[in-house]
Chains A and B, each alone.
Chain A
Amino acid sequence: MKPTKPRPNYLGPVGWVWAGNYKLERYLYILHRITGLGILLFLLFHLTATTFFRIQGEAVWNSAMGFLSNPLFKIGEFLVVVAFVFHMVNGFRLILQELGFLMSKPVPPIYPYSDSLRRKRRWTMAFIGIIIVLCLVFFYDFIVGGW
């Protein structure tokens, strides 16, 4: 019989971008982390803009806002909105599932294996649907609001 070589479960830093044996939820975890770090970076820029520029009066504020109305910044802002929407809706999913909701009862590990999370995959897909709808709402506002 041909010996099979199992794929290792330990991924190390590669696990930050590749899910290995894990499936969709692991990619959501990676995206949750990336969006979280991205929003933290944005927060520091945002606090700088809304404190240092605001405290210096109207002229400085208006020139800063004029500089930030550049289309590149607008695209960046939209990406922050997408990251925020993803992080918020996926965070709600995590809260519910970590507290044991939206998960099916555990079953004995008999082949073919299934896990409690994957048997409720349609809830995960519903949350992804909410993310897409909210992103489209904000995209509409970005288009209508002008660049």
Chain B
Amino acid sequence: MRRYTYLWLMQLVTGVFIAVLLGIHMVVQHLEDILLFFGVNLNDPTSWQSMIERSRQAVWAGIYIALLVVVLSHALNGLRNVILELTPSPRAERVITGTIMALGIVVFLWASYVPIALLYS
């Protein structure tokens, strides 16, 4: 049972990290009109030019990859918790855990490739 406690603790800690990192992401990407009111001009953060400027900075690549790690661990652990509430057999539980971990690794490799590739482009 101890590992379930660690998973619960991981859910709490990654939740706090997501609140900070996704908070930055949301405010920068979506609250540009409110930021403009406070005198910060981001020049349309979803435009190609602004996106390329961000992707050339190592800080943003770091933020994106860190966000990817915590979001994937939080979301897939949450998905596992939802599925395990259906009380599957121990064998089915191992299959579910293995599938979800494989999915997480595949999504991480696929999605972390782009910020790294754009950093050196």
Contact = CB atoms under 8 A, between A and B. Distances in A.
Contact of B15 (A43, A91, A141): A91
Contacts of B33: 140-141, 144-145
Contacts, number: 64
Nearest to A91: B15
Contacts of A33: 82
Contacts of B51: 54, 61
B30 A138 contact: yes
B92 interface: no
A81 B79 contact: no
B75 A54 contact: no
A43 B118 contact: no
A116 interface: no
B30 A62 contact: no
Interface string B1-36: 000000000001001101100110010001111100
Contacts of A51: 110-111, 113-114
Interface residues of A, number: 29
B119 interface: no
B71 interface: yes
Interface string A6-32: 000000000000000000000000000
Nearest to B8: A98
Nearest to B34: A141
A75 to B, nearest CB: 14
Contacts of B79: 36-37, 40
Interface string A129-144: 0000000011011001
A43 B22 contact: no
Nearest to B22: A84
A145 B36 CA distance: 11
Interface of A: 33, 36-37, 39-40, 43-44, 47, 50-51, 54-55, 58, 61-62, 65, 81, 84, 88, 91-92, 95, 98, 137-138, 140-141, 144-145
